[in-house]
Structure 1
Amino acid sequence: MGIVAKSGKAAKSARGKRSTAGVIEVPAGTRPDGPVEGIYYIDTGDCELLHDPDNTNGWLLKINGVLSSHIDLADPLFLDFEYMRWIAALVESRWPREAKPKLRALHLGGGACSMARYFHAAYPDARQVVVELDGKLAGYVRNWFDLPKAPLLRIRVGEAREVTETLTPDTRDLIIRDVFAGAYTPRALTTREFNAHADAVLAPDGLYVVNSGDAPDLKNARADAATIADTFEHTMIIADPPMLKGRRYGNMIMAGSHVPFGDDPTLARRLLGGAVPAHIWNDAQVRAFAAGTPVRHDAPSPAPVPPAA
């Protein structure tokens, strides 16, 4: 998770705050059984667990100083980050909860597994895999937040692209890309070639969703939109108006599918009625936004070096 769109109270209060709880390094096999405030060493640096001052059941997770996740232990359906609420609204528009679908979801980027907890509560029969690069972090999160066990929720430690490339075609209904290294998603997860792997893993009516973080120039967002539009027949963007107009740093939710999104007034009302009202751009608007922006591709492989004579 990267740049956070205007979010809940807890997320705002945690920005720039460093815990005074001290550094905690827990030896392997003796992780706290339940959340304990402090700074923990992980494979990729450190993570900081903070109690939410406004919610006795709430916890905030920072990774290498960057706000990553919020968890409400008592209510998995509570999402503090607005962009996660937008994702939830979009997914539920495609698969209404009352239909009780057995959703097959792949989450690229783990953090505290906030979205996976949400979908487990919304769709109890869902089967979910969360891909997390950091093995130590995955272990902590399992212990801290009492996540559903396999096969309902599996955490697979690995690099998101490498894992995606190993998956069997047509085995997921939903893929959510929420991977960041600092402010932006690693390029290897943003190219046309990667999108093709994701597309192959999805069912024909599947949904590909990405969290695209950007600066006011929207250069990264346009490239993400162009590349998704080059892969999928139908696209959508959800964001608040200041972000769409390039007036601040923040997040856009982009989606691609081979099934039309349609005009869902319930989704539009839900997005407008949130704490941070969001608008929907349809496929034509997304393609107009991305017009003239080159599609991202993998870097060419280096030419083989001929053997010495």
Structure 2
Amino acid sequence: MPGDLELVDDGTGGTVVMLDGHPQSYVQLDNPRLLVFEYVQFLAAVVDSLPEGPLAVTHVGGAGLTLPRYVAHTRPGSPQIVLEPDAALTEQVRAALPLPRGHRIRVRPVDGRTGLTALADASADVVVVDAYAGGRVPAELVTTEWFTEVRRVLKPDGVLAMNTTDEPARRHLARLHASVHAVLPHTAAIATSEVRKGRRFGNTVLVASARRLPMDQLPRRVNMTAFSATLVSGRELLGSLGSARPFTDADAEPTPQPPVLDRWRVR
């Protein structure tokens, strides 16, 4: 059993998946559309902006399998692969929070770098990266080499959606974006207004593709989330982050350590 996993009943029918002392997922079995964390809503907005019908989705990072459940519910028949190295975590989560009938979600007990290399070229409409260890995105998931492998697995018009975190100065985010942009040149970033303006540590969802992003749908979907969110893309995004050197496998760094949480509550 994973020593740092805790499943917390929120008293309203939902469960918070805590990992390494940090809230990682929120699951309500009878309402998979209910997405509590802002970054999960942002990831879902990216998925929702794509053409209707089933999507082949590869998820790097599993935890409570919140987004795979959402995709299975909103786009029935979608084949999904989840790369989650902690098999004990997956076993405990699935025992307490079983997946819905008829799902096409396959969980593979491997890390993202290992698991992605085993996938076929152009096999995914979407690659979602939402993987943390000790509250930080691992260094091996922020490099140009990693994103080159992501591009190989994506279909020509496929989309990457990656959840990351940074301090208010956003210097790690700038280098991470430079790594993505070097491989997938059409990029956007979604964050709350407070994070976007550098007022606090927080999450940003990076969106990227080799081709034009679905900007006819994505802004509307972001505006439909329950948070005061901002979407920045193209030259505006490049200008806001400033020049930065991409991460490589030789000099990669995990995302900064998150602040200590004295308490946590569902918003």
Normalization by structure 2: what TM-score?
0.89
- Which residue does the alignment assign to 1:67? 23
- Which residue does the alignment assign to 1:223? 175
Distance 1:179 1:186 in 2: 8
Report the 3-state secondary structure (helix = DSSP H, G, I; strand = E; otherwise coil) of the residue aligned with 1:118: helix
Report the 3-state secondary structure (helix = DSSP H, G, I; strand = E; otherwise coil) of the residue aligned with 1:73: coil
Unaligned runs of 5+ in 2: 252-267
1:113 is the counterpart of 2:47 = no
Q: Contact 1:236–1:254 (CA<8 Å) still a contact in 2? A: yes
1:283 is the counterpart of 2:234 = yes
Q: Which string of whole-angstrom CA distances, capped at 9 and with x for unpartnered residues, describes residues 240-283 of structure 1?
A: 1211111101100101102212543x543443343311111011
Across the two proteins, how many residue pairs are aligned to each other? 251
Q: Contact 2:183–2:210 (CA<8 Å) still a contact in 1? A: no
- Which residue does the alignment assign to 1:76? 32
- Which residue does the alignment assign to 2:94? 142
Report the 3-state secondary structure (helix = DSSP H, G, I; strand = E; otherwise coil) of the residue aligned with 1:91: helix
- Code of the residue aligned with 1:143 in structure 2: it is A
Unaligned runs of 5+ in 1: 1-40, 301-309
Q: Please, which of 136, 143, 159 is the counterpart of residue 184 of structure 1?
A: 136
Q: Please, which of 169, 173, 184 is the counterpart of residue 125 of structure 2?
A: 173
Distance 1:252 1:279 in 2: 10
Q: Which string of whole-angstrom CA distances, capped at 9 and with x for unpartnered residues, describes residues 197-237 of structure 1?
A: 01001100100110011111211111111111111120010
1:232 is the counterpart of 2:184 = yes
- Report the structure number with the largest CA radius of gyration: 1
State the superposition RMSD in angstroms. Answer: 1.7
1:173 CA drift (Å): 0.8
Identity %: 29
Q: Please, which of 225, 243, 249 is the counterpart of residue 298 of structure 1?
A: 249
Distance 2:112 2:36 in 1: 25
1:210 is the counterpart of 2:162 = yes
1:299 CA drift (Å): 1.3
Report the 3-state secondary structure (helix = DSSP H, G, I; strand = E; otherwise coil) of the residue aligned with 2:114: helix
Report the 3-state secondary structure (helix = DSSP H, G, I; strand = E; otherwise coil) of the residue aligned with 2:41: helix
Q: Contact 2:26–2:37 (CA<8 Å) still a contact in 1? A: yes
Runs of 4+ in 1 over 3 A off after TM superposition: 148-151
- Which residue does the alignment assign to 2:207? 255
Q: Please, which of 124, 137, 146 is the counterpart of residue 194 of structure 1?
A: 146
Distance 2:63 2:97 in 1: 11
Distance 1:223 1:273 in 2: 29
Asked which structure has the greater RCO (Cα within 8 Å, sep 6+), the reply is 2
Distance 1:263 1:117 in 2: 25
Distance 1:293 1:149 in 2: 46
Q: Contact 2:72–2:103 (CA<8 Å) still a contact in 1? A: no
- Which residue does the alignment assign to 1:6? none
Q: Which string of whole-angstrom CA distances, capped at 9 and with x for unpartnered residues, describes residues 164-198 of structure 1?
A: 11211111111001111223211111100010001
- Code of the residue aligned with 2:10 in structure 1: it is D
